[in-house]
């Protein structure tokens, strides 16, 4: 079985647009801005042998405020680069396009996106990590059996489930993951 690092998209890979203390996704590829240190952190994790899987809720599709085509364009831009952005080492995207009222098993905090990827890619969830910036990410990772890492931006949002570790950036979280991997082999 393989190990993975599951990553939320907005607020972990790219800058979330924060309005009144609440994070929102970029509306288009033109608004996409990578966070500092992300390409290097992903390369280090990829080089260490982790599968890198974006798991993201994109309810604005269900709400009619963006299109699936626009979300996929953002993912293509992240994976393959362009417009001054480097390509990122991302193995796959798992996307929930539903809203809370749809009651699906893929919308975080439900663990469906992680469980589906684990089945399809033969992943060991107990040795994998979930990195997110919202309580939904942490809860989904916990329910899937992953170690949960929280990137804390101080959003105006209640924390419902404590993470296993807390950081200020993906680069810090990647350092911790790689050190954890070294500790496990000693």
pLDDT band of 154, cuts 50, 70, 90:
confident
pLDDT of 183 over the 70 cut: no
Predicted pLDDT of residue 47: 97
pLDDT band of 173, cuts 50, 70, 90:
very high
Number of domains in the chain: 1
Out of 6-10, 20-24, 29-33, the most confident range is 6-10
Q: Indicate which CATH number applies to the domain containing 166.
A: 3.40.50.1000
* Interatomic CA distance for residues 180 and 164, integer angstroms: 12
User: What integer is the mean pLDDT of 62-84?
Assistant: 92
pTM: predicted TM-score of the whole model, two decimal places: 0.95
User: Are 139 and 107 a contacting pair, CB within 8 Å?
Assistant: no
- The boundaries of the domain holding residue 96 are 4-185
């Amino acid at each position: 079985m393989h190990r993975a690092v599951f990553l939320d998209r907005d607020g972990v890979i790219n800058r979330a647009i924060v309005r009144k203390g609440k994070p929102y996704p970029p509306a288009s590829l033109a608004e996409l801005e990578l966070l500092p240190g992300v390409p290097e952190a992903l390369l280090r994790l990829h080089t260490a042998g982790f599968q890198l899987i974006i798991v993201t809720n994109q309810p604005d599709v269900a709400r009619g405020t963006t299109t699936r085509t626009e979300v996929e364009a953002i993912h293509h831009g992240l994976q393959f680069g362009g417009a001054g952005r480097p390509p990122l080492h991302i193995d796959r995207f798992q996307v929930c396009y539903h809203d809370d009222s749809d009651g699906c098993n893929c919308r975080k905090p439900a663990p469906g996106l992680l469980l589906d990827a684990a089945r399809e890619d033969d992943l060991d969830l107990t040795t994998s990590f979930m990195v997110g910036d919202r309580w939904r990410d942490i809860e989904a990772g916990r329910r899937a059996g992953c170690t949960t890492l929280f990137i804390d931006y101080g959003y105006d949002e209640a924390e419902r489930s404590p993470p296993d570790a807390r950081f200020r950036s993906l680069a810090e979280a990647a350092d911790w993951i790689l050190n954890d991997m070294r500790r496990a082999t000693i």
